[in-house]
Structure 1
Amino acid sequence: MSDHDASPLMRQYREIKRGYPQAILFFRVGDFYEMFYQDAQEASRLLSIALTSRDKNSPEPVPLCGVPYHAATGYIAKLLKAGRTVALCEQVEDPKLAKGLVRREVVRLYTPGTLVETEFLSPVESNFLAAVSVGTTAKHQPVIGLAMLEVSTGEFVVTEFQGDQASSQVLDELAGLEPREILFSPLPDRENQSWLDQIRNARLCERSAASFDQQRAARLLQDQFHVHSLDAFGCQGLTAGIGAAGAVLDYFRETQPTAPLDHIRRPRVRRTTDAMHLDSVTIRNLELLKPMGALEEGPGAKPATLLSVLDRTVTAMGSRLLRQWLVRPLIHCDAIRARLDAVGELKDCMQARVALRSALRDVQDISRLSGRIVLGVAGPREILALKQSLATFPEIAAQLQSLSSPLLVEARSSWDDGRDLYELIEQAIQADAPLSVREGGVIREGYHAEVDELRKAAKEGKHWIAALEAKERERTGIESLKVRYNQVFGYYIEITKANLARVPADFIRKQTLVNAERFMTPELKGLEERVTGAEVKLLALEQDLFAQLRIRLAEQANRLQEMAGKLSLIDVLAGLAETAALNQYTKPVIDESGAIDLRGGRHPVVERLSEDMAFVPNDTQLNLESHRLLILTGPNMAGKSTYLRQVALIVLLAQIGSFVPAAEARIGIVDRIFTRVGASDNLASGHSTFMVEMVETATILHSATVRSLILLDEIGRGTSTYDGLSIAWAVAEYIHDRRHLGARTLFATHYHEMTQLEQQREGIRNYRVDVREVDGDVVFLRKIVAGGADRSYGIHVARLAGLPESVIGRARDVLAQLEQPEATTIQQTKPAQHTTPPLPQPHAIVEEVRQIDLFSMTPLDALNRLAELQRKVSPTAKQPGS
């Protein structure tokens, strides 16, 4: 059907739809949002609602489906979850006043990264919209700008990465922030954006290159924040970062054309030197936010993550802040110590801590509330939630008064009790106000004289209506006579068919029903005009006054956001203090030394999961000298991986400013934590387990510094034994060597041959997980002791895993034969009718050659070593100089 053939309504629909081809258009028609054509077909399928058609008698009926306007939020949520976007098209003029077709406009584009509705958002997770801008520096180095806007709170962050590692650093940043939507501008060189293929769980939105233009972006930002230069924000030298920030702002304006942008805070520039950079592999391997394996068991159980153990915040704002701390630990001693001092004081001052946490429980999500107030979408109940929060401010300030740690003193020194805002809401809004201002009954009595008068008129009018009903019953003798109301006819008198003979002559018939008829009288008409006129005026006045109140509160959004930040900080610090008190954590010593010295360290998550059995604590001694690289051996299932992770988690906890699960802890600042723990195939990229292992190991070797902490677990196990041992050996030497890294490293391995490194390299130490054999069974003691393991106990582990006894018995026989030096084949079992293929034994000389470090030997040393090997093979061989 052409536009010329369509009705005016459908021509209007098509014109609006052209501007939003990728979105499902919710087109307001009366009390419904209607969808047409392909939108209707897709929405009916995704929403499980009936698909019908418009103009059914037409040769080409238009597919149609619709949802009630008051229930639209739930349907929009379903479409967003299905990965779609929704354009909300409203009637922007009163149908009663419209001349011809009602004017309609798209007032909102719902996308995953631009949501402000509480129904769509997780209270404890941020909802970032991100933009990524790719370019090159003046020296032709890659540069990637990243901007992130949390639309619901107005938080705005800009950062930039340069050099060959820029793309991996952006991926790591995105892994920690978990944005819901990412804007990007494709480049002709696909290599520069291959990282896009690795993005998961976010909507990728391609934008034009003009959206990322730096000069255009700078003008947008200057206009938005009313400044002549962006240098005041610390943006000097940023190019791609400014382009990304402009793209975010441009997209927000486009998706919410009617929304004010006043709640967006000035961009905060985040430098790579501000905090520890955790890569996505480490965030995953340490299970900071999400578990790697199975999720929680049973309804209501929490996943086994560091966040779940640590999070004792009582506000949504505090929980979101704690998540940010976990993925961005601090790297400056003074800032860490300030947090630790505050946590320590709150831990020791139980009375203040309990009082603070009790008051904070009544604090609502002020950060998001203020955003919704500025955007003009906050309802009466949300304004009351703000009032409830403001009521707690004096008590929180009083408790802070008794505390002396600098971070808490700073929070108290610029405290804003918001008393004026509390009183404004108290005077204006009814304590039992409804959810929506459209329901009326929002404005408190005494706040506005005209509201009081109209409310009195409406209330008295209802009494007049009730009195009229009683009078007409008496006059007609019809006991079932009722005065009723609906939006179509207004007030009317309803009389059943059985009583129609008694209807007076002055009753005017309005409508005939199956069992009754409806009438009007001049007196009722007069009352209706007085009553409904007052009600309509009252509702309109209340809506107007509420909008004015919201504007007054919006003008104070900066104050509210400032206090939201303080309350979030107090909540996190008090929550960490509570965790420290309940879980018996201790205050770590933080310094610039290279030491990581832990006494009685525990894994913060595992110890909570195994409360029915005592967790075995362990010591750790790492430094940049004598204990630079610790080689940890021991059987599988003995606890090596748990030990590695617990050391990393203790360091991370200390550097976010938390107390740690240890009897004593001294932490020399770590600039980065790297983990190569566990392995799995990456089917999406076509990489095998071994390739994933090697890629992650290569990243560590290229990115770590002497100040890093490296955890390596079973390097080389994804390939043959000799190849794996060779790679593991070479990696250990590279990390240990100060000319390359010299970083503090825990290296767990099942290659017992690597324990020889302790004698060959200063700074390498052997440790093992202690085991005991009792009556042929192995008992894992979970204790880390000095020395290397001489056995893997693999058969014992296999037995614990439940392999059949016949398999276990045969494995023991094969092992016994392999352990005989002269064995070259395995004897077959009886009565088997086949032979086992020969299993060659590694020759001692071959193994010795493999382990020679040729690159650290002089030519003379090499000749002498070769002669020594020759003598071992042939004792009568001629020696040098003979």
Structure 2
Amino acid sequence: MEAVHNTPMMKQYFSIKADYPDAFLFYRLGDFYELFFEDAKKVAHELELTLTAKNGKNAEHPIPMCGVPHHAANGYIEQLIERGYKVALCDQVEDPKLTKGLVKREVIQVITPGTLMSALTEKENRYLVAVVEQDGRFGIARGDVSTGESALTSVATLDGVIKELSIILPREIIVTTEEHETALAHLRIPLTRSLRRETHPHGDRAIDTAQAEAFAVLYAYMHDTQKRALTHLQPAVVYEASDFMQLEPNTVKNLELVRSARTGDKKGSLLGLLDVTGTAMGGRMLKRWLEKPLLSERVITERLDAVEELLQHYFERQQLKDTLREVYDLERLVAKVGYGTASARDLVQLKSTLRLIPRIQSALEEMMSERLGQLSLGLDPHDELSDLLDRAFVEAPPISTKEGGMIKAGYSADLDELLVASKDGKTWLATLEASERAATGIKTLKIGYNRVFGYYIEVSRANAKLLPEGRYERKQTLANAERYITPELKEKEALILGAEEKSVTLEYDLFCGVRDEVKGHIESLQRVSRRIAELDVLVALAEIA
């Protein structure tokens, strides 16, 4: 084998890849994620990428290689995940500028069909399910990383497991035995084998050991793949399968409850008819209600009373309908906060949603039904948090959190000072450009900037001969222009760029501080999201009625 296989970089690659044999390893090299060997061959085939060789195609032992740009990797990863594969993201965890020799790399996240946080369907959950057999029962734990929702149940037989999974339709199933893997393979859902080990216990004595084991396996898998604190995971809802109408998989299919038997789409199903919900979380809840019809007469009556009252109050219902259309997906916004991926734009959407709550409560004031009263009382508008978000962020912040432009003037005196320094510097540059044009008589003279050379004065080659001798110091010669600097320009450049760099760093720190404050309210915000979702479903059912 050639020496290229034994370079420090390839040794690092082999060491990391050994821990993730069942995933494509996206290995960060500069501005690209690179794949090698069999990973490269398979991914190049799946995504129709060009397959090259790291050490040249004519080498004695060529190393197959393909890559995707770092900034565009999400689209490629989503395609692989939707085809049932896993991706291990291996990133640089040291600053290359501050590191001598090989940069340290680690897998920062494993993305799987059941844990994908992007490319989500608005009104559908993306469930990950763990199935464990314990003490003669089968524990089933399901979770949705994108919303933090989780639920537990147990059934007596493997046939019961299949019925439950046919309703849940998870994107990925975790099993702990080869026997279960074989039994569930016909469902055609990606299966993952997980070693059972001592993990995060559920802590609820009301659940049986099968449910506790299933939850432990589910939590461990989420934690091991996402590699972060899952603070947005909601307390698991424990339910008995027998609490709901037991529907055979074929019955669900033939009744076309949530999908058309002909097309497999929502359109043409009962869900397609009933779903006039205004929010994504309401749409997801309605789907869950249809998949699990109630048997409790008390709860059925509660729901019917609420729908009937909404039906009778036309104007209030229209007010609710119009307001709910403005509500963002609070459940997933809060999950992104806990997950650590929320942007300033997400937090502004959170504020906008909280500001709608008084309007929702106002529309419910005249309602007398027990359930609507409970929902209204539980809608906490989080006034202090909403005010903080309003003070902190501009109305339309950029998507990126590391390029500035997020924080509102007046929120931080230190930031305001830096931004003024940067703005004054740019005003000075504009004044300099005008004065130099006047002094030289060259109307096309301009002041420009690039990351390599900083600020410069650019004059076309044709006009360069008009410059007085020694006026500027030549910096760079281009095909059609000359670029120059002056000591004064270099001095201002240091001030402007210093202020810009400091302001961007400070903005990100301020953003993280606000996001951490929101993180402290995750549980109460999730309670609000559940109440809004239920209200949305009840309004939709009244509208259809």
Please give the range of the TM-score, normalised by the shorter of the 2 chains: over 0.9
| Higher RCO (CA < 8 A, seq sep 6+) | 2
The match for 2:190 is 203
Residue matched to 2:482 = 517
Partner of 1:62: 63
Please state whether the residue corresponding to 1:417 is helix, strand or coil: coil
Counterpart residue number, 1:685: none
Per-residue CA deviation, residues 136-171 of structure 1 (Å, 9 max, x unaligned), is x3xxxx421111111111111111112xxx112111
**Relative to 1, partners in 2 of residues 1:55 and 1:527: Cα closer, same or farther, differing over 3 Å?**
farther
Shift of 1:110: 0.9
On the 8 A contact 1:169/1:279 being kept in 2, the answer is no
Match of 2:352 in 1: 388
Residue 221, structure 1, aligned to residue 201, structure 2: yes
SS at match of 1:509: strand
**Counterpart in 2 of 1:167?**
158
* Displacement after TM superposition at 1:396 (Å): 0.4
Report the Cα distance in structure 1 between the residues aligned to 2:92 and 2:488, rounded to whole angstroms: 36
CA, structure 1 residues 473+10, in 2 after alignment: closer, same or farther (shift >3 Å)? Answer: farther
Distance verdict in 2 for CA 1:101–1:240, change over 3 Å: same
* Structure 2 residue aligned with 1:574: 539
Contact 1:289 1:306 in 2 (8 A): yes
Q: Determine if contact 1:168/1:195 at 8 Å carries over to the other structure.
A: no
Q: Distance in 1 between matches of 2:484 and 2:446?
A: 10
- 1:447-846 correspondence to structure 2 within 5 Å: 447-503=411-467, 504-505=469-470, 507-580=472-545
1:129 — aligned with what? 128
CA contact (8 A) 1:295 1:304 kept: no
The one-letter code sitting in structure 2 at the alignment partner of 1:175 is: S
Asked if residue 248 in structure 1 is aligned to residue 218 in structure 2, the reply is: yes
Q: Give the Cα–Cα distance (whole angstroms) in 2 for the partners of residues 282 and 505 of structure 1.
A: 88
Shift of residue 54, structure 1, vs aligned partner: 2.6
Distance in 2, matches of 1:477 and 1:8, equals 58
Equivalent position of 1:617 in the other structure: none
Instruction: Classify the secondary structure of the residue corresponding to 1:27.
Output: strand
Contact 2:137–2:210 (Cα < 8 Å) also in 1: yes
Q: In structure 2, the residue corresponding to 1:230 is in which secondary structure?
A: coil
The percentage of counterpart residues that share the same residue type is: 41
8 Å CA contact 2:36, 2:64 repeated in 1: yes
Aligned to 1:844: none
CA contact under 8 A between 2:475 and 2:485: conserved in structure 1? yes
Partner of 1:428: 392
Asked if the contact 2:392/2:408 (under 8 Å) is kept, the reply is yes
Amino acid at match of 1:121: L
Corresponding residue for 1:23?
A: 23
SS of 1:64's equivalent in the other structure is: strand
Q: Which amino acid aligns with 1:546?
A: F
The aligned amino acid for 1:482 is: K
Change in Cα spacing, 1:484 to 1:41, as seen in structure 2 (3 Å) is farther
- Please report how far the alpha carbon of residue 5 of structure 1 lies from its aligned counterpart in structure 2 after TM superposition: 5.1
In 2, Cα distance between the equivalents of 1:476 and 1:17? 62
Q: What is the number of residues matched between the two proteins?
A: 543
Which residue number in structure 1 is paired with residue 281 of structure 2?
Answer: 317
Q: Determine helix, strand or coil for the equivalent of 2:523.
A: helix
Partner of 2:338: 374
Residues 364, 493 of structure 1: alpha-carbon distance in 2 compared, 3 angstrom cutoff: same
Question: Aligned equivalents of 1:29 and 1:394: distance in 2?
Answer: 51
CA distance in 1, matches of 2:112, 2:54: 28
Tell me, yes or no, if structure 1 residue 90 matches structure 2 residue 91.
yes
Kindly provide the amino acid, as one letter, of the partner of residue 180 in structure 1.
R
Distance 1:53 1:462, change over 3 A: farther
- What residue number does 1:276 align with? 245
Unaligned runs of 5+ in 1: 223-228, 297-301, 581-882
Q: Say if 1:507 and 1:521, in contact at 8 Å, map to a contact too.
A: yes
Equivalent-residue separation in structure 2 for 1:384 and 1:34 (angstroms): 36
Aligned to 1:230: 204
What TM-score does the superposition give when structure 2 sets the normalisation length?
A: 0.95
Query: Could you tell me which residue of structure 2 aligns to residue 40 of structure 1?
Result: 40
Give distance in 2, aligned partners of 1:532 and 1:67. Answer: 31
Q: 3-state SS of the aligned residue for 1:340? A: helix
**Matched residue SS, 1:13:** helix
Q: Which residue of structure 2 aligns with residue 12 of structure 1?
A: 12
Larger gyration radius, structure 1 or structure 2: 1
Counterpart residue type for residue 501 of structure 1: K
**Cα separation, 1, equivalents of 2:516 and 2:497:** 29
The residue aligned with 1:802 is: none
- Which position in structure 2 is the counterpart of 1:341? 305
**Alignment partners' CA distance in 2, 1:2 and 1:275:** 63
| CA deviation string 1:509-536 (max 9, x = no partner) | 3333222233222111111101111111
Aligned mates of 2:123, 2:269 — CA distance in 1:
15
Question: Are the equivalent residues in 2 in contact too, given 1:374–1:550 (CA < 8 A)?
Answer: no
- The verdict on how the C-alpha distance between 1:61 and 1:456 changes in structure 2, with shifts beyond 3 A counting, is farther
Moved more, 340-349 or 512-521: 512-521
Contact 2:475 2:484 in 1 (8 A): yes
SS at match of 2:243: coil
Change (3 A) 1:295 1:268: closer
Deviation at 1:239, TM superposition (A): 1.8
Q: Secondary structure at the match of 2:308?
A: helix
Return closer, same or farther for 1:395/1:146 CA change in 2, 3 Å cut-off.
same
Letter in 1 for 2:115: T
Q: Is residue 147 of structure 1 aligned with residue 147 of structure 2?
A: no
C-alpha distance in 1, partners of 2:268/2:320? 28
Q: CA deviation at 1:247?
A: 0.7
Secondary structure of the residue that 1:49 maps to in structure 2? coil
As a proportion of its length, which structure holds more helix?
2
Q: Shift of the alpha carbon at 1:4? A: 7.5
- Alpha-carbon distance in structure 2 between the residues aligned to 1:415 and 1:546: 26
C-alpha distance after superposition, 1:819-866 (max 9, x if no partner): xxxxxxxxxxxxxxxxxxxxxxxxxxxxxxxxxxxxxxxxxxxxxxxx
CA contact (8 A) 1:312 1:575 kept: yes
Corresponding residue of 2:170: 179
The alignment partner of 2:242 has SS state of coil
CA contact (8 A) 1:86 1:110 kept: yes
Q: 1:66 to 1:472 in 2, by over 3 A?
A: farther
Q: What's the offset of the Cα at 1:294? A: 4.2
Which amino acid in structure 2 is aligned with residue 144 of structure 1?
F
* 2:14 maps to amino acid: R
Q: Deviations over 1:583-604 (max 9, x none)?
A: xxxxxxxxxxxxxxxxxxxxxx
Q: Are 2:127 and 1:157 aligned?
A: no
Task: Report the AA paired with residue 186 of structure 2.
Answer: Q
Equivalent residue letter for 2:358:
P
Q: Which residue in the other structure is 1:71 paired with?
A: 72
- Counterpart in the other structure of 1:824: none
Residues 515 and 42 of structure 1: CA distance in aligned 2, closer, same or farther (over 3 Å): farther
CA shift digits 1:652-688 (9 cap, x unpaired): xxxxxxxxxxxxxxxxxxxxxxxxxxxxxxxxxxxxx
Q: Check the 8 A contact 1:46/1:82 in 2, yes or no.
A: no
Please tell me the residue identity of whatever aligns with 1:197: A
Aligned partner of residue 491 in structure 1, secondary structure: strand
Counterpart residue identity of residue 243, structure 1: E
TM-superposed CA distance for 1:481, in Å, is 2.1
**Which whole-Å CA distance do the structure 1 matches of 2:3 and 2:193 have between them?**
30
Aligned partners of 1:69, 1:103: CA distance in 2, in Å? 17
* Counterparts of 1:438 and 1:182, CA distance in 2: 36
**Corresponding residue for 2:231?**
262
Distance 1:313 1:463 in 2: 51
**2:11 aligned partner, one-letter code:** R
Matched, 1:418 2:382: yes
Q: Matched residue of 2:310: which SS?
A: helix
Provide Cα deviations, 1:461-516, integer angstroms capped at 9, x if missing partner. 11112222223333433332222111222222223222333444253333332222
**Contact 1:393–1:418 (Cα < 8 Å) also in 2:** no
The alpha carbon displacement at 1:565 in A equals 0.6
